[in-house]
Amino acid sequence: MLIIFFLFGLIIGSFLNVVVYRIRTAETIMGRSHCRQCKKTIRWYDNIPVLSFVLLKFKCRDCGEKISWQYPLVELLTGVVFALLANQYFILENPVTWLITGVMIALASALLVIFIYDILYMEIPNLVLWPAIILALIFNLYLDFGQIFSTVWERMSVSGVMASGGAFLFFFSLSYFSKEKWMGMGDAYLVILLGLILGWPKILLGLFLAFAIGAIYGIILIGMKKKDMKSQLPFAPFLIVGTFFALFYYAPIVGWYLGLF
Ligand SMILES: [Zn+2]
């Protein structure tokens, strides 16, 4: 079953690459893909996720222009994320889990687009962020509808709003008081979405991991003399990686951490 979600992820990943590019150039999402260099339409058999890049040796068949590693990497990453989501939420015999998995796939796709977009253009696309926030809000209300929780805090709508409100205030302050030097305002809006997806207290782990991974990455770059202390790094990719880890591995990570004492 997971392999089906992985393959589905490869195909959607290939689509997400196109979405990123077309949001930037304000083209429509529809229509066949074409080479950015020679503008020739890509043949269907050259458009198979991952496989085509290897067979074409990362070059356009028509003009020989190099195709970026971004494409197969995003496809693989999307495949892995979809398989992990299915592993966590999907039960074949239970129709409700189909819906839950579907919404989580849509939200994860939005996160992946924001992830690539911020790396490429140092900007968070509002066109993707705000619809995803609305979807996450509706989804949280749906999850609570008809379910009985022992306390109000376990309700996803309460826990999600708490998580995103707290995270937003924290990032908004960082951005506001540093005049966007430490943190961009876009990141403050992004954590609203991450809070709604993770809820409380998982958001704390997501943010902690984002800062930890970001710091390690920054130290490596400075060590390799690729950046100095003043260089700007896009932070959304770290926030999104942290969110995926908190979503999939919250229990093992917290368990491991508590086991240290
Ligand atoms: Zn070409």
User: Cα of 58 to ligand 1 centre, how many Å?
Assistant: 11
- pLDDT digits 0-9 by tens, 196-231: 999 988 999 999 999 999 999 988 888 887 666 566
Task: Give the whole-angstrom CA distance, residue 132 versus residue 70.
Answer: 23
> What's the CA-to-centroid distance between 60 and ligand 1, angstroms?
5
Distance in Å, CA 68 to ligand 1 centroid: 12
Ligand 1 mean position, distance from CA 119 (Å): 24
Q: How far apart are CA 84 and CA 112, in angstroms?
A: 14
Query: pLDDT tens for residues 117-167?
Result: 999 998 999 999 999 999 999 999 888 876 655 566 667 888 999 999 999
* Residue type for position 34: H
Q: 């590019």: which residue's tokens?
A: 21
